[in-house]
Structure 1
């Protein structure tokens, strides 16, 4: 694990209730606790709609470098959506906008937004993100990958680190039936993530859904693998980054 992914020590953890996030994100009691402050800094940016994000923004590689998860902390019912995305050299500028909700719950969870990597960005070199949201701009860095992806990808599950104990998981499926985590069990070299069975009617589209996972314990270094179980998501996924 590289130093650029290491997060400052979180002073307090609040266990958030299981929440199905729109815009491709989900959180669960065992997998997504949220900090009430970060190193004593509680400054926030407040976008339209009453939502707020912590001063830090995180990022994770997805799909072998074809995409990035942009992770913010805030209300589970007021999840931002990706707007304009552009690149100049190795800097990617991302504009996030309010999802249009009129009221926001007073919880604090990690929410991830799927962003495709613009053409011309070399993912084998370090990448800087400039994320604009609610009138403010925050930065996040990604270390270059060992190799660039080939082709368009096969829409398979993938995962990347956004902090020492935080993983962004990309799955593909119905935009109205997003994965909801039921349980996370961690070992030295991996974790088994169990999902609740979807109950209801799902649209027939095929969309990227990003689920944020906070592990019970931080993983310092070395290979790490997720075993996905349930809800037709069964797979084994190496965590990159």
Structure 2
């Protein structure tokens, strides 16, 4: 029997909100990710530490830092890679004030052209957060999709970063997680009917704790709800 439980947050950095909004999550033209306030905190990434996950077929990573859930860092400048190490400078968002909670936040980072996702990657974070983590190379690099398909990757043994596309100001939040055979079903919360969303269409990152339902082998996620379009199971990239 599947076990259901409330999980955590939908959020992301590295984005610019477009002007103009409307009720519901309408989409328009844009390409930068954004962030939202999470519903509950998680402990998979201890305070002061940095985590990372491969997403988007290894073309991007989600960098997870710890701090105010409502003030997700964004990427400052172009990430640089040298000798197998990626340096990412993060900056605090200009909007405020920030909530005084401590929670993991995910910042989507596009990788420089030519980055090999099959090789180990040291990730060094400076600026608004400071730390380093080693991201093991992918043993099986998937074919990159050009249709803005959702993707997911392991941050830790239980935490996954899930990339979906839509309004930057209406990032999906996780309502529940349950086992579905060999897969894990992630149900996103239904947004309020009066929720106002910007009209951009960008990648957003949601963090979810799936450890209790994931088992020991490869895991795929079945996404539903929250205006997320994902008809097929999504393989979680990386190792845990």
The correspondence of residues 141-220 of structure 1 with structure 2, limited to 5 A, is: 141-148=134-141, 150=143, 153-186=146-179, 189-198=182-191, 199=193, 200-215=195-210, 217=212, 219=214
Secondary structure of the corresponding residue to residue 77 of structure 1: coil
Instruction: Give yes or no for the alignment of 1:223 onto 2:222.
Output: no
Q: TM-score scaled to structure 2, two decimals?
A: 0.75
How many residue pairs end up in the alignment? 207
Give the corresponding residue for 1:4: none
Give the corresponding residue for 1:48: none
Give the superposition deviation at 1:109.
1.5
Give the superposition deviation at 1:149.
5.4
Give the corresponding residue for 2:132: 139
Structure 2 contact 11–106 (Cα < 8 Å) conserved = no
For residues 154 and 226 of structure 2, the distance between their equivalents in structure 1, rounded to whole angstroms, comes to: 23
Q: Deviations over 1:179-212 (max 9, x none)?
A: 1222222357332111122333433322110001
In structure 2, relative to structure 1, the CA distance for the partners of 1:186 and 1:22 (3 Å cut) is same
Structure 2 contact 12–205 (Cα < 8 Å) conserved = no
Pick which of 99-108 and 204-213 moved more.
99-108
For residues 147 and 158 of structure 1, the distance between their equivalents in structure 2, rounded to whole angstroms, comes to: 15
Q: Which has the higher strand share?
A: 1
1:108 to 90, 102, 123: 102
What are the ranges of 5 or more consecutive residues in structure 2 without an aligned counterpart?
Answer: 1-5, 14-33
Give the superposition deviation at 1:177.
1.7
More RCO (CA 8 Å, sep 6+): 2
Secondary structure of the corresponding residue to residue 198 of structure 2: coil
Give the superposition deviation at 1:107.
1.6
Structure 1 contact 89–120 (Cα < 8 Å) conserved = no
Secondary structure of the corresponding residue to residue 104 of structure 2: strand
Secondary structure of the corresponding residue to residue 60 of structure 1: strand
What are the ranges of 5 or more consecutive residues in structure 1 without an aligned counterpart?
Answer: 1-15, 39-53
